[in-house]
Amino acid sequence: MVPITIRNLSKSFEGTPVLRDISVSIAAGEMFFLLGPSGCGKTTLLRHIAGFYQQDAGSIHFGERDMSGVPAHLRNTAMMFQSYALWPHLSVAENVAFGLQERKLPKPEIVERVREALHMVQMGHLGERRINQLSGGQQQRVALARSLAVRPDCLLLDEPLSNLDAKLRLDMRGEIRRICNQFGLTAVYVTHDQKEALHLADRMAVMEKGEISQCGAPREVYRRPVSAGVASFIGEANFLAGAWVGEGEAAGSGVVRTAAGEWEGRVTDPGWRPSAGEEVQLCVRPESFRFAAGAAGRNGLSGVISESIYLGELAQYAVTAGADVIRLAELNPAELRGPGPVQVVAAADDVMILRR
């Protein structure tokens, strides 16, 4: 278990910047997520932490130790890859032992560590199996056991669940969280799966174009995104264009005039406050809308249901309101609403005001 501090890290490949002045601190024992769209630099940053790449500028510290120039095999990290990278000609136990043999540990210690690691992932009875005799979920557990066997200071995970089906992904999320908590591992986890990050992360960093756009706890990033890019990547979001009118009734809130009338919400970027008449955009999550019985008034709009989708535990609707199409969700619907006129509203605390 070790804290990781990244300071002003930059990297270019063939003259193209991939990471731009990245600074972030990861606490010892924290499960920290890097997420963002493809090509944003999250895997490149993870590989710098692992030591597979060396930065052009900046530094990475494990505790007080500057890791600049330290090769991967001397960093005491373990990395789980999307492909698992298991040897098909070796048994389960032999795969788990591979990293220990590379470190030239005594054979009795290797045997004991393999036994412990397989027990951690509930695979102790399958040590003699061949990899091609295992399911995808079992192979993922073997890859996790191999990482744990070396007793790393830091566990690095590069989209480790992307090859599993939905149920196995859910099961393994819990398993990874349990193991990291039980052994106090510092974990850095790369994913493009927002649900996975919201479920597991202590904190997360959302990356865009080689930079960290926002870093914080899952609820903070979801409820208070600092930009439209962050808001649209973490969950679904509806956007409405408008202009800033002035301060709202509640402390810290503001009023925005839109084509659908006036809305009251909160500015979620702490470093920005709009000026009078400035163009802004509203962001409202689908689950924040509710159907209204009468006229919508402030923070509401009138429209027509143009699409209805029943998903069991919830229903999803598309409401066309002038030039805008609003997506909203209704939990545990008694019945599916059909096409027709509706009014929808959102609470001021659920309306986010963002730069346009």
Of residues 18 and 174, more confidence is placed in: 18
pLDDT band at residue 164 under the 50/70/90 scheme:
confident
Q: Using only C-alpha atoms, what is the Rg of the chain?
A: 24
Is the same domain home to 150 and 179? yes
Is the same domain home to 94 and 111? yes
Is the same domain home to 220 and 109? yes
Pairing of β 154-158 and β 186-191:
parallel
Of 207, 228, 249, the residue at which a domain comes to its end is: 228
CA distance 343 to 16: 49
pTM given for the model: 0.87
Is the same domain home to 224 and 260? no
Q: Which pLDDT score is estimated for 35?
A: 93
Q: At 202, which amino acid appears?
A: D
pLDDT for 93-145, tens place per residue?
999 998 888 888 999 999 999 998 898 888 888 888 998 888 888 888 888 88
Q: What domain range includes position 245?
A: 237-355
Among the listed residues 38, 37, 49, the one whose alpha carbon sits nearest the alpha carbon of residue 11: 49
Strand partners, 21: none
Mean pLDDT of 242-247: 94
Is the same domain home to 13 and 162? yes
What are the C-alpha distances in Å from 343 to residues 236, 265, 293?
20, 19, 7
Contact 114, 127 (CB under 8 A): yes
CATH of the domain at 318: 2.40.50.140
Q: Which pLDDT score is estimated for 82?
A: 76
Of 228, 262, 292, the residue at which a domain comes to its end is: 228
Q: Phi first, then psi: give them for residue 12, nearest 5 degrees.
A: -125, 150
Q: Which pLDDT score is estimated for 297?
A: 75
Mean pLDDT of 73-77: 88
Give residues with Cβ within 8 angstroms of 288, minimum separation 6: 346, 347, 350, 351
pLDDT band at residue 163 under the 50/70/90 scheme:
confident
Of 180, 206, 228, the residue at which a domain comes to its end is: 228
Number of domains composing the chain: 2
Q: Which pLDDT score is estimated for 296?
A: 66
Q: Which pLDDT score is estimated for 32?
A: 97
Q: Phi first, then psi: give them for residue 250, nearest 5 degrees.
A: -80, 155
Q: Which pLDDT score is estimated for 161?
A: 80
Give residues with Cβ within 8 angstroms of 88, minimum separation 6: 130, 131, 132
pLDDT at 248 over 90: no
pLDDT for 275-308, tens place per residue?
999 999 999 999 999 999 876 678 999 999 999 9
Is the same domain home to 25 and 119? yes
Contact 55, 11 (CB under 8 A): yes
Mean pLDDT of 225-237: 93
Is the same domain home to 206 and 257? no
Q: Which pLDDT score is estimated for 122?
A: 82
SS3 144: helix
Is the same domain home to 263 and 351? yes
Is the same domain home to 171 and 245? no
Q: Which of 84-88, 217-221, 283-287 bottoms out in mean pLDDT, i.e. has the lowest?
A: 84-88
pLDDT for 2-38, tens place per residue?
999 999 999 999 889 999 999 999 999 999 999 998 8
CATH of the domain at 199: 3.40.50.300
Phi-psi region of 321 (alpha: psi -120 to 50; beta: other; left: phi over 0): beta
The string over 205-226, giving b where at least 16 C-beta atoms fall within 10 Å of a residue's C-beta and e elsewhere, is bbbbebbbbbbbebeebbbbbb
Q: Could you identify the residue written with the tokens 């895997």?
A: 43
Question: What share of the chain has pLDDT > 90, as a percent?
Answer: 60
CA distance 46 to 34: 8
Is the same domain home to 206 and 247? no
Half-sphere exposure of 191 (CA within 13 A, CB side): 24
Is the same domain home to 92 and 9? yes
Mean pLDDT of 77-82: 84
Q: How far is Cα of residue 50 from the mean position of the Cα atoms in its chain? A: 19
CA distance 198 to 102: 36
Task: State the average pLDDT for the chain.
Answer: 91
The structure tokens listed for 4 are 């990781």
Question: What share of the chain has pLDDT > 70, as a percent?
Answer: 99
Is the same domain home to 334 and 203? no
pLDDT band at residue 317 under the 50/70/90 scheme:
very high
Of residues 290 and 166, more confidence is placed in: 290
The structure tokens listed for 302 are 């009138």
Note the maximum CA span of the chain. 76
CA distance 75 to 65: 10
